[in-house]
Amino acid sequence: MKRIAIILTLCSIIGTGKNIFGQQATVMYFMKDNPLQHNFNPAFQPERNFYFGFPVLSSLNISAGNNSLIFADVFYGRTIDGKKQTVSFLHPEVKGGVDNFLNSLRKNTRFYAEFSATLLSFGLRHNKSYYTFDVSTRAEGQFMLPESVPALFFRGVEDKEGETEFNLRSLSFSATAYTQIALGSSYNYDKQWNFGAKLKILLGHANLDGYCGDMSLKVSKERWLLQGESSLYGTVPGLEFKKKDDYTFDGMSFDGGNKSLFSGVGLAGDLGATFNFFESLRFSASVVDIGFIHWNKNIHKTNKENDFEFEGITYDINNDSIDYWEEYRNMLEGMYVVERDPKSYSTMLTAKIYAGAEYSILKDRLGFGLLSKTYIAKKEWFQDFIVSVNYRPFRPLAVSANYSLLNGKWSNIGFGMNVNAGPVNLFVCADNIPLKFAKGGGMMIPTNTKMTSVSFGINFMFGREKTDAE
């Protein structure tokens, strides 16, 4: 019964993290003939003098995954009664399954899904400067799970006599949709240095966002005490937080409220630079998506104002008409109070830091790249390292393959192809391509992949800057 209580409790206090993630497949980073390379570093200048994107199809990006678990951490192949079966880590035939599962989790496991599409995009060169403009739409969601939650559920309390405290501060969920209008400029200072900057106007459509402040769960034989701060914000067309007469939270409805297309506005920026140490070696660095969205329409907010304390249930075997859970259900329902006059709030984009180097040989036909990318989200750092081989056999074709160190493991292969057929540019790129699959439920399931990112686009390019050799 206590475990049932804690499941219900945790479901009732999940908030949302104030961060927005978004990315293109990073195998594109060293594709010099790709006109959208400046999305990683605003100092990158396209080789063509002018380009414009096919509406909506200029760049499509889909990403999903997590930073801890692969399929093989959760499901195992076993032969039971002479039949091959796929069972979970909780099955008695899986020895040490729970320990293996918990050991696979990071301090905070982030599950996420992202989608973006470029609606309008073009760029042009003027003397030593290059100007870019694009309009894109994005939808992103994430769920952050601290390791303490599954540890409590699957291992319970190790100190049977004392009180154990579980930190729930990072438990979160978020979802955001917005449109981005970006104007960029890069300047070729000399033969060695390029500098670039990009300004982004953000038009927010919808957001669910909140936080768990100092939320903690104290567990002992005598009681389970959930205490601390937690809030849930929301601004979604049609969203309404329902409340009882005493303003305690009574669920959500999407049938009322303001249905305006835009609920917020914000600003963001990119900064970048490149340095050619000598003709065959180029260094690059950038900070991308430094900014926020301020939400000020159709705001709803609920705050945790009361603690929840579970002290067990005493059963009366002579009376089966008592609802033993009613007292605790009322406490759970009364934990959150809907704010009567909620104020506007802001959400931060996740800043991304890129630092790369590429050494080219064979007149730039073959390049070897090294890239570090770091995400900074709610004081949490997520860092990846990538080694890349970039082959440009002739001007219309470029292919790139990379090998990534994600979450401490070198086990992720990416591949991309960039084709310039006359004025038409076509690219297809993917990070962390699944290579090993298992059959399950009539589907092919990737067994060793935590995340994947796919980018596709069609653009039109004209003119080419002449080199000194020409």
- The per-residue pLDDT for range 163-197, each reduced to its tens digit, is 888 888 888 888 999 999 999 999 999 999 999 99
Amino acid 13: pLDDT: 34
Q: How far apart are CA 286 and CA 284, in angstroms?
A: 7
Amino acid 316: pLDDT: 62
Answer whether residue 3 shows pLDDT above 50.
Answer: no
Strand-pair category, 351-361 with 281-295: antiparallel
Q: In sequence order, which ranges of 132-209 are alpha helices (DSSP H)? A: 148-155
Candidates 418, 420, 430, 431; CA nearest to 390 is: 418
| Burial class for 388, CB neighbours closer than 10 Å (0-12, 13-18, 19+) | buried
Q: Which amino acid is at 113?
A: A
What's the topology of domain 2-69+105-462?
Porin (2.40.160)
Q: How far apart are CA 24 and CA 21, in angstroms?
A: 11
Q: How far apart are CA 451 and CA 402, in angstroms?
A: 15
Amino acid 21: pLDDT: 43
Amino acid 207: pLDDT: 93
Q: Break the chain down into helix, strand, coil percent, rounded to 5.
A: 10, 55, 35
Answer whether residue 15 shows pLDDT above 60.
Answer: no
Answer whether residue 238 shows pLDDT above 70.
Answer: yes
What is the band of 468 on the pLDDT scale with cuts at 50, 70, 90? very low
Percentage of residues of the chain with pLDDT beyond 90: 40
**360-411 per-position pLDDT tens digit:** 999 999 999 999 999 887 667 778 889 999 999 988 999 999 998 765 556 6
Most confident listed range (9-23, 77-91, 132-146, 445-459): 132-146
CA atoms within 13 A on the CB side of 251: 3
Answer whether residue 335 shows pLDDT above 90.
Answer: no
Q: In sequence order, which ranges of 52-112 are alpha helices (DSSP H)? A: 71-74, 97-104
Candidates 418, 411, 399, 428; CA nearest to 461 is: 418
Q: How far apart are CA 133 and CA 56, in angstroms?
A: 14
Q: What would the mean pLDDT of 143-148 be, rounded to a whole number?
A: 88
Running DSSP on this structure, what letter comes out for residue 315?
-
